[in-house]
A = this chain, B = another copy of it.
Amino acid sequence: MSERLLYQMPFCPFSRKIAFGLLEKGVPVTPVMERTWKPSPLLLQLNPSAELPVFQDGLSICWNDYTACEYIEDVYATPQLMGVESFDRLEARKIMSWFDRIFYHDVYMTLFYERALKRAIAQSGPDTSVLKTGRSMLRKHMVYISTLADRYSYIAGSTFSWADITVASHVSCIDYLGEIVWDDFPIAQEWYLKIKSRPAFRSFLMQTFPGLAPVPHYSLLDF
């Protein structure tokens, strides 16, 4: 068996997404810890842009979450996680790209970056005006998640998919900070509790960020 390695960073939503998807598919990997702002020479050799994650599957090197997700779905086809019909696949990919691009920019890069990563990367504390903007954007995105969760049993259709994996990976990083007022979003909460109860998701709820304790409900399966 050729070696499978996942170069990743804890609380990087893209790394979390690929690790979660691999667990759902039952594909074992060895994690390799990286820091996106201080890439190892090996990571730079595998991927000169140093984007995380990098999934090395024998001779196949997947750069970033897009190529990794499509490759994993292609090569490890069972269980199928991209929707049965072309319309479902489009829906899953639209939701993925929304969270990977827009939610990440609006919420992760304001709240998670300011409150957790900035100290390590820029040696400075959070900017309160950025936090304020991030919190306001988060509420809008939570309304969107509620709308999505209200349509079907899962976020992009009637079956669990990469869209659930993606949204839960982003949401969990923000929930760690205690930024989500779940009482205001009961439908989104119901969906998220369903994802939290999946065995493949449990390991992420056990992770901690150095110097920053999780909100008490972070790992609870009912709250």
Contacts and interface: CB of A to CB of B under 8 A. Distances in A.
Interface in A52-86: 59-64, 66-67, 70-71, 74-75, 86
Interface stretch (A94-102, A113-121, A167-175): A94-102
A196 B62 CA distance: 30
The DSSP consensus for interface residues of chain A is helix
Interface footprint category on A: 20 to 34
Nearest to A77: B86
A96 B127 CA distance: 35
B86 A74 contact: yes
A136 interface: no
A71 B90 contact: yes
A49 interface: yes
B75 A93 contact: no
Given A49-B101, A49-B102, A102-B49, A74 B89 contact: yes
Given A74-B89, A102-B49, A97 B63 contact: yes
A87 interface: yes
A98 B63 contact: yes
Contact of A64 (B49, B67, B89, B97): B97
Nearest to A71: B90
Contacts of A90: 60, 62, 67, 70-71, 74
B89 A70 contact: yes
7 contacts: A49-B102, A62-B90, A67-B90, A67-B93, A71-B93, A74-B86, A75-B86
Given A66-B66, A66-B97, 9 more contacts: A60-B87, A61-B94, A63-B98, A64-B101, A67-B90, A67-B97, A71-B86, A74-B89, A74-B90
Closest 5 CB pairs of A and B: A67-B93, A74-B86, A71-B90, A49-B102, A75-B86
